[in-house]
């Protein structure tokens, strides 16, 4: 699957080596799940550090209108697909070192089978197979509901929302993840009264405050402050609940309903303006997951609610990025692309390619690239912070890797900290000093909190029982 991670890996490998590559994708063009996404989808983090390292995405502008106003621009799904198509054509294929097999399935025995003609191509990797499917995103448009639906029920996926031509009495949003949030915000943008939206939200989520995830020098203070808040809150936390209270009090983490304790965390971001809009929807149903939709009622795990023939039900309950057990990145004859920095897919993939190019021993490579499992529950915030900071410490102890990070577009944050250290602004230098003072105690406290919660065993059990999307 040639999604963002595979593209970022290939781009860095082309820069660092003289390798040749064959890229196989079941879709007709690169971009992975972005090709299947709904038309109003946008990145939920800044475009400036998404994509491949060699080519900028977007213009680095600050939005001046809308609910993202004051923050770095968020590229649309269409723009991202066009970007990856350009990278494939003008960077990868033009290099003469990349062969692209679109609309092909890669299967046992090393065969790439065309989905159009059925012809098979045998592929022999001189070095390794690179597996980019570990974080294969599942969307409503490609993964139908797991519950039965009566034939007369109006049920659509998010990509069909803009094409609705028959008016609806109301809308039921099914799911509590980022897709559901996008659909609610889109409906509100169309001036739909919030009382006509019913939101089945089995799990509430913690969100990053996008204001504090801005990798650009003119908005650097809020970004550096996020790291300071994370470490100082961890250092001073009495327990895990106290940690999340501190993070929320300082607006580092946000939730929609202040009266409901979130049980989900998927690395998503929102602005405070978006949060204000989401809170306008008061018809929130918390009776578990949908088990069936009948013509006059929606059956849930813990009850039912009425519905009607002119109600549009929006399926946002696909599992998103599956939570899978991690495995070594570098294996015999194989590289498995995974996060090695919490919530950073393209940086992680590019960094893995760099290690493949600059280190010759797999034991050394794996020591510098310990996988971070995809987040699902709030405790995964702690696990991700711990693993990321430990990876970062190892990485920055290697001069060539540290130098690469400082100049890498897909990093985005390292250069902010380096610039802040030399800044004439005393407020920025003070933030850096506070971070240096809090990081050691903060990481030690996160480790202690995890151990008190059951340590590694607890985290692996949470992966086995995770339910994404809703």
Among candidate residues 321, 33, 68, the one with its CA nearest the CA of residue 213 = 68
The pLDDT tens digits of the residues spanning 359-386 come to: 999 999 999 999 998 889 999 999 999 9
CB contact at 8 A, 23 and 92: yes
> Is residue 62 predicted with pLDDT exceeding 70?
yes
The pLDDT tens digits of the residues spanning 394-403 come to: 999 999 999 9
> Is residue 445 predicted with pLDDT exceeding 60?
yes
pLDDT at 1: 66
Indicate the DSSP class of residue 373.
Answer: P
pLDDT band at 139 (very low <50, low <70, confident <90, very high): confident
Q: Can you list the domains of the chain with their CATH numbers?
A: 4-138+322-374 (3.50.50)
The pLDDT tens digits of the residues spanning 249-273 come to: 999 999 999 999 999 999 999 999 9
d(CA 198, CA 194): 8
> Is residue 465 predicted with pLDDT exceeding 90?
no
Residue listed under structure tokens 């494939």: 88
> Is residue 68 predicted with pLDDT exceeding 90?
yes
- Give me the phi and psi of 292, to 5 degrees please: -170, 155
Quick count: other Cβ atoms within 10 Å of Cβ 116? 10
> Is residue 424 predicted with pLDDT exceeding 90?
no
DSSP string, 19-77: --EEEE-SSSSSSGGGGGS-TT-B-SS-GGGSS-TTS--S--PBP-SSTTTTSB---BH
β-pairing, 104-107 with 111-114? antiparallel
Name the token pair of 112.
């790439």
pLDDT at 195: 98
**What are the CA-CA distances from residue 133 to residues 19, 106, 116, 235, 339 (Å)?**
21, 11, 21, 36, 12
d(CA 458, CA 453): 7
DSSP-based three-state secondary structure for 211: helix
Mean pLDDT value of segment 411-433: 87
Indicate the DSSP class of residue 149.
Answer: B
Calculate the dihedral angle through the C-alpha atoms of 331, 384, 265, 131, rounding to the nearest 10 degrees: -10
DSSP-based three-state secondary structure for 319: coil
Mean pLDDT value of segment 420-436: 89
CB contact at 8 A, 195 and 243: no
d(CA 138, CA 130): 20
pLDDT at 412: 79
pLDDT at 320: 67
pLDDT at 218: 65
Measured in residues, the chain has a length of 470
């Amino acid at each position: 699957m040639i999604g963002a991670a595979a593209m970022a890996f290939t781009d860095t490998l082309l820069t660092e080596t003289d390798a040749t590559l064959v890229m196989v994708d079941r879709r007709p063009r690169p971009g992975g799940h972005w090709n299947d996404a709904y038309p109003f989808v946008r990145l939920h983090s800044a475009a400036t550090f998404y994509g491949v390292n060699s080519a900028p995405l977007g213009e680095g502008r600050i939005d001046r209108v809308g609910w993202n106003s004051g923050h770095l621009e968020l590229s649309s799904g269409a723009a991202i697909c066009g970007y990856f198509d350009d990278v494939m054509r003008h960077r990868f294929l033009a290099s003469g070192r990349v062969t692209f097999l679109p609309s092909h399935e890669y299967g046992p025995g090393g065969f790439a089978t065309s989905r159009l003609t059925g012809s098979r191509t045998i592929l022999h990797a001189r070095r390794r197979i690179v597996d980019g499917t570990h974080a294969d995103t599942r969307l409503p448009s490609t993964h139908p509901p797991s519950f039965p639906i009566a034939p007369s029920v109006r049920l659509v996926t998010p990509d069909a929302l803009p094409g609705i031509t028959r008016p609806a009495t109301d809308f039921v949003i099914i799911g509590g993840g980022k897709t559901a949030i996008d659909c609610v915000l889109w409906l509100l943008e169309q001036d739909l009264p919030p009382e006509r939206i019913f939101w089945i939200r089995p799990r509430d989520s913690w969100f990053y405050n996008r204001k504090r995830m801005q990798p650009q020098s003119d908005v650097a203070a809020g970004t550096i402050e996020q790291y300071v808040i994370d470490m100082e809150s961890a250092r001073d936390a009495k327990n895990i609940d106290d940690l999340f209270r501190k993070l929320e009090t300082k607006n580092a983490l946000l939730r929609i309903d202040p009266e409901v304790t979130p049980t989900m965390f998927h690395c998503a971001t929102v602005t405070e303006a978006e949060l204000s809009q989401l809170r306008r929807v008061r018809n929130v149903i918390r009776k578990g997951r949908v088990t069936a939709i009948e013509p006059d009622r929606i059956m849930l795990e813990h009850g039912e609610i009425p519905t009607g023939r002119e109600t549009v039900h929006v399926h946002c309950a696909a599992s998103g990025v599956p939570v899978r057990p991690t495995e070594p990145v570098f294996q015999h004859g194989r590289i498995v692309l995974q996060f090695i920095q919490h919530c950073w897919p393209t940086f992680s993939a590019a960094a893995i390619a760099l290690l493949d190019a600059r280190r010759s021993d797999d034991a050394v490579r794996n020591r510098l690239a310990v996988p971070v499992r995809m987040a699902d529950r709030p405790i995964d915030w702690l696990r991700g912070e711990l693993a990321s900071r430990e990876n970062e410490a190892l990485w920055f102890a290697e001069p060539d890797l540290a130098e690469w990070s400082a100049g890498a577009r897909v990093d985005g944050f390292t250069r902010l900290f380096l610039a802040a250290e030399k800044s004439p602004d005393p407020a920025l230098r003070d933030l850096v000093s506070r971070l240096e003072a809090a990081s050691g105690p903060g990481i030690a406290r996160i480790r202690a909190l995890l151990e008190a919660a059951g340590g590694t065993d607890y985290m692996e059990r949470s992966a086995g029982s995770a339910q994404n999307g809703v």
